[in-house]
């Protein structure tokens, strides 16, 4: 009799419970209605009276052992499950912070540019990415078949045999035309937007990028005001000690035309970097939108946002801005 009881005890002790199935197998074998513990107590009737107390005590020990083993194994299993699902042992500890998203570096740069021009009294406008030849070229004083159109490698979009091809805008300047057609001066707007050029994809160039156009039209707008505005921008964007220079340039839609460079220091040394093109609105442009060029003058400028973001955040490959790789974007948590 005692051997039988000790045998059950040993079986309980050597039973391995590593998962839910084994836990259930244990319960069936020892703790169920027909289990070993219950049937062990069935043997009590064969025990002589004077031994009943001793055997009963041993049987109770075995029964408790079975229950303890079951409960302990259940708790252990639960714990390992919690670990698997990442639950913390101490629920009062602060949780690990999770990645909740961040501004794209292009949006960050764009927001800074917007803030600066809002301070300078500009409002924000926009226009379509799919343009016609008139807005993208003709009204901006690109003569038909003039090589000036080759300055920008254009993506053309064919609607039908009969209709004129549309273009993916090659710059944000066509929105100047839309604004001037829509509204009488004074106009003072910036126009952020995506533009497209048929260029080879490399670390330095891409088939799309972002520009911010600026347009100010009023009576007696001067070149001095243009330069003052651009210098103010450069100082607010790059710091009041920024080193800049203004060079003469050429665009069909401005006369005179200029470009602005800022001095940029990096590990590789310093260099001049072109940040924008600008100029006084060409009278031919005013003509094409029926603005009286005797009465009004104006200035316009256009800058690349990608370049600014790349300088600002030390990004050396423009393609990173468009891949949306989470490992890249995660680095711009504020």
278 makes contact with ligand PHE (CB under 6 A): yes
Strand partners, 105: none
233 makes contact with ligand PHE (CB under 6 A): no
- Alpha-carbon torsion (109, 112, 113, 114), positive or negative: positive
> How far from chain centre, in Å, is Cα 218?
38
Residue in this structure with the two tokens 């259930």, named with its chain if needed? 24
Nearest distance, CB of residue 327 and ligand PHE, angstroms = 32
Determine which residue in the list 302, 309, 318, 329 makes contact with ligand PHE, applying CB under 6 A. 302
Determine which residue in the list 136, 141, 154, 173 makes contact with ligand PHE, applying CB under 6 A. 173
Closest by CA to 314, choosing from 111, 113, 109, is 109
Q: What residues between 197 and 226 interact with ligand PHE by CB under 6 A? A: 213
251 makes contact with ligand PHE (CB under 6 A): yes
Q: Which listed range, 78-86, 123-131, 237-245, 297-305, lies at the site for ligand PHE (CB under 6 A)? A: 297-305
State the binding site for Mg(2+). 255
Q: Which residue is nearest to ligand PHE (CB)?
A: 302
Inter-residue contact 154 to 144 (CB < 8 Å): no
254 makes contact with ligand PHE (CB under 6 A): yes
- Residue 63 CA to residue 69 CA, distance in Å, equals 10
CA distances from 16 to 20, 143, 144, 168, 312 (A): 11, 88, 87, 70, 61
Identify which of residues 154 and 173 has a Cβ nearer to ligand PHE in the complex. Answer: 173
Determine which residue in the list 105, 192, 279, 298 makes contact with ligand PHE, applying CB under 6 A. 279
> How far from chain centre, in Å, is Cα 138?
37
307 makes contact with ligand PHE (CB under 6 A): no
Closest by CA to 67, choosing from 38, 34, 44, 45, is 38
Inter-residue contact 58 to 44 (CB < 8 Å): no
301 makes contact with ligand PHE (CB under 6 A): yes
Identify which of residues 143 and 270 has a Cβ nearer to ligand PHE in the complex. Answer: 143
Tell me the Cα Rg of the chain: 39
Identify which of residues 276 and 329 has a Cβ nearer to ligand PHE in the complex. Answer: 276
Q: Which listed range, 52-60, 89-97, 299-307, 308-316, lies at the site for ligand PHE (CB under 6 A)? A: 299-307
In total, the chain counts a number of residues equal to 334
Count of residues binding ligand PHE (CB under 6 A)?
Answer: 11
299: Cβ–Cβ under 8 A, 6 or more apart, which residues?
214, 215, 216, 221, 223, 225, 226, 229, 254, 278, 279, 280, 281
- Residue 297 CA to residue 222 CA, distance in Å, equals 7
Nearest distance, CB of residue 96 and ligand PHE, angstroms = 46
Identify which of residues 40 and 300 has a Cβ nearer to ligand PHE in the complex. Answer: 300
277 makes contact with ligand PHE (CB under 6 A): yes
Residue ranges in contact with ligand PHE by CB under 6 A? 171, 173, 213, 251, 254, 277-279, 300-302
């Amino acid at each position: 009799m005692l051997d039988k009881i000790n045998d059950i005890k040993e079986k309980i002790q050597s039973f391995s419970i590593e998962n839910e199935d084994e836990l259930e197998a244990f319960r069936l074998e020892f703790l169920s209605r027909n289990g070993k513990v219950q049937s062990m107590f069935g043997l009590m009737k064969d025990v002589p009276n004077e031994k009943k107390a001793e055997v009963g005590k041993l049987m109770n020990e075995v029964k408790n052992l079975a229950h303890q083993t079951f409960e302990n194994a259940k708790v252990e299993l639960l714990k390992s499950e919690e670990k698997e699902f990442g639950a913390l042992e101490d629920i009062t500890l602060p949780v690990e912070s999770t990645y909740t998203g961040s501004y794209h570096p292009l949006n960050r740069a764009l927001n800074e540019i917007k803030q600066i021009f809002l301070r300078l009294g500009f409002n924000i406008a926009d226009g379509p990415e799919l343009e016609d030849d008139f807005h993208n070229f003709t009204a901006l004083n690109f003569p038909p078949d003039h090589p000036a159109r080759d300055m920008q490698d254009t993506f053309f979009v064919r609607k039908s045999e009969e209709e004129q091809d549309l273009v993916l805008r090659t710059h944000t300047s066509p929105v100047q035309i839309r604004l001037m057609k829509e509204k009488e001066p004074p106009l003072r707007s910036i126009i952020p937007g995506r533009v497209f050029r048929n260029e080879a994809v490399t670390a330095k160039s891409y088939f799309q990028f972002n520009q911010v156009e600026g347009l100010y039209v009023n009576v007696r707008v001067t070149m001095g005001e243009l330069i003052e505005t651009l210098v103010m921008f450069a100082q607010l964007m790059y710091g009041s000690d920024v080193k800049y220079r203004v060079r003469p340039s050429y665009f069909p839609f401005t006369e005179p035309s200029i470009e602005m460079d800022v001095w940029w220091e990096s590990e590789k040394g310093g260099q001049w970097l072109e940040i924008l093109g600008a100029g006084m609105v060409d009278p031919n442009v005013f003509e094409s939108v029926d603005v009286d060029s005797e009465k009004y003058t104006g200035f316009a400028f256009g800058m690349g946002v990608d370049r600014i973001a790349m300088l600002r955040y030390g990004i050396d490959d423009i393609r990173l801005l468009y891949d949306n790789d989470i490992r890249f974007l995660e680095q711009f948590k504020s």
